[in-house]
Chain A
């Protein structure tokens, strides 16, 4: 079994007006089969858990944040936990299981993608073992893909202006943040 360990800072997610994370309440609400997350006693703003992937990989995760993360952050975590259990061929057309590397890259991007001011993304598995974060609102399409190779790419299209562009790796974070700022504005 391959095991990777990652610590991902999410402190920049902190905003006012967000309900604090309640570990006790969350544990009660979680399904029995879901991996258990623990708030570390020595670091109350960190959450540690392990993801066991259907392909045999294991990822030890420590997320360090403010304790005031937006709801979208916890929804994305729930989705990733669910998707990590998808078996080979989950799409009926031979798709690969989700890879730990794609999830690592996703966590590295969380502070850019998940903000209480931005709309919640759809978190979608790709057939190559990657993860795709999608927004389709107000005439804007934004898809950010973390591939199993570790490559991160984005696709953006604006139906009003006709603008369409794509980017890979280094070009992604800044471009995506700029697009998300636009998506965050009222329609």
Chain B
């Protein structure tokens, strides 16, 4: 099992930036549009703990115009057998890592279960689902 900080409770909300170029159509999600699996393939995947993010969504997206934000909970990623650990970064309060081997199937499940709380700006010529 990957390392896991149980001090981060299951209901802790985690955020990850989503670049506009990494969105894909998917008829299995209500919006018809979701982050590509390529957003979630790193063994140590960078996230921030939402409650500790300075400036909220705008703070996370400062300097990243047009990006979206995907949200999921620590409990949801633990159900995929990933761990969540803190990774202190002075420039990014609340920085943490979702740790674990992200098989293609697990990446797809995470891409479908996450919630887009900030929708990326659609790229011209690229579909933007129903939304």
Q: Contact between A75 and B125 (Cβ–Cβ < 8 Å)?
A: yes
Contact residue among B22, B37, B67 (Cβ-Cβ distance under 8 Å from A143): B37
A174 part of interface (Cβ distance < 8 Å): no
Query: Known contacts being A90-B19, A90-B21, A132-B36, is A79 close to B125, with CB within 8 Å?
Result: yes
Q: Which of B27, B37, B123 contacts A137 (CB 8 A)?
A: B27
The listed residue (B17, B25, B27, B41) touching A127 by CB distance below 8 A is B41
Determine if A91 and B22 form an interchain contact, defined as CB atoms under 8 angstroms apart.
yes
Q: Tell me how many residues of A have a C-beta within 8 Å of chain B.
A: 28
Bitwise interface map of A from 117 to 156 toward B, beta carbon under 8 Å scored 1, else 0:
0000010111100001010111101010000000000010
Specify which of B42, B64, B123, B126 lies most central, judged by the most chain A CB atoms within 10 Å of its CB.
B126
**Residue with the highest number of chain B CB atoms closer than 10 Å, among A75, A92, A155, A166:** A92
B24/A124 in contact, CB under 8 A: yes
- A74-88: CB near B (< 8 Å → 1, else 0) gives 010011001100100
Tell me which of A90, A91, A157 contacts B105 (CB under 8 A).
A157
Whether the pair B22, A125 counts as a contact (CB closer than 8 A) is yes
Say yes or no: is A164 at the interface (Cβ < 8 Å to chain B): yes
Contact, CB under 8 Å: B17 / A125: no
20 inter-chain pairs at a CB distance below 8 angstroms, sorted by A residue, are A75-B125, A79-B125, A82-B123, A82-B125, A91-B19, A91-B21, A91-B39, A92-B17, A92-B64, A122-B25, A122-B36, A124-B22, A124-B36, A125-B22, A134-B36, A136-B26, A155-B104, A157-B105, A159-B28, A164-B105
Interface residues of B (CB under 8 A from A): 17, 19, 21-28, 36-39, 41-42, 46, 64, 67, 104-105, 108, 123, 125-127
